[in-house]
Amino acid sequence: MSIVAQEHAWCATTPKRSPVSEPQASGLKSVGTALDVLECFATDGELGVSDIARRLGVAKSTAHRLLNTLASRGFIEQDLQSGQYRLGIHVYELGALALARNELRHVALPTLRQLAASTGLTVNFSVPDGPDIVFVERIENPDGVRFLGHFGRRLPSHTTSSGKAIAAWNPEADLARRRAGFPPRVSRTVRTEADWLRCLESVRRVGYAVSHGESFDGASSVAVPVISRRVAIASVSVFGPTETIAPQVDRLAPVLVAASRRIARAHTV
């Protein structure tokens, strides 16, 4: 599967956030519509006024006003040659600030770097977000880059070892995934609630989760949860080619458990 196809699969299986279903004043509705504009760029690098108008179901004049407002604040920018719009540098600035100020990621970083150095594998640190998981830190090695490319940092939880590890000890994450369903990504993706529940039971029994060819063909991962007050708040995982990961699962699992416990202790200090 090409990187482009992978990105489309990711977007197609990641539900868009639903607006709060309450009557809104016109000003708040405009804010919501402006945020909807930004959401459109999660699936496409560049879009025109007509594209935005069609996706939001608004007039082109309305779409143009929204785009101009967002551009004036640096949230999007326009390519002067093509006339298309794309996300602006201010979105990157705010995202970088959010990441830098994430306390859990900050305390985890030293352990994640040690894990990457000792295993020679790509290390991911993820947190739950509704039915998905978001990788808030990724320390890559060449094998990880080969599979991930420019792939986004959000995946449906049922396609990853990280999502399974979190959901096994996080009832809210589990319920969110079951409500969203189990759309397939690649041939071995979990596709039914019964299979999902069997996966979570296995994770609880052995203490870690594995994924072989469930998010990317030919790639595998092993993950363990980071537990705080008996609930999984994150997961730490290693990722790479299946031929590299699969023979090492028994060796990698205790290394990940030790790393997870160090992160949990640092977080509570």
Q: What are the 10-residue block averages of pLDDT along the chain, 269 residues in total?
A: 37 46 57 87 87 92 92 92 92 86 91 95 94 91 60 84 97 96 88 96 97 89 96 96 94 97 88
Closest-CA residue to 242 (of 133, 161, 126, 150): 161
User: What pLDDT, on the 0 to 100 scale, is given for residue 21?
Assistant: 46
Matching fold, domains 25-94 and 102-268:
no
- Between CA 148 and CA 50 the distance in angstroms is 32
User: What pLDDT, on the 0 to 100 scale, is given for residue 54?
Assistant: 93
- Between CA 215 and CA 153 the distance in angstroms is 12
User: What pLDDT, on the 0 to 100 scale, is given for residue 45?
Assistant: 86
In CATH, 25-94 is 1.10.287.3240 = no
User: What pLDDT, on the 0 to 100 scale, is given for residue 90?
Assistant: 92
Indicate the domain borders of the chain.
25-94, 102-268
Residues in the chain, how many? 269
What single DSSP character describes residue 47? B
Residues 6+ apart with CB under 8 A from 209: 161, 162, 164, 165, 168, 199, 203, 222, 223, 224, 235
In CATH, 102-268 is 3.30.450.40 = yes
Name the pTM for this structure. Answer: 0.78
Give the containing element (helix H, strand E) for 241: strand 231-241
Residue for token pair 């060819």: 213
User: What pLDDT, on the 0 to 100 scale, is given for residue 7?
Assistant: 38
User: What pLDDT, on the 0 to 100 scale, is given for residue 112?
Assistant: 97
User: What pLDDT, on the 0 to 100 scale, is given for residue 1?
Assistant: 34
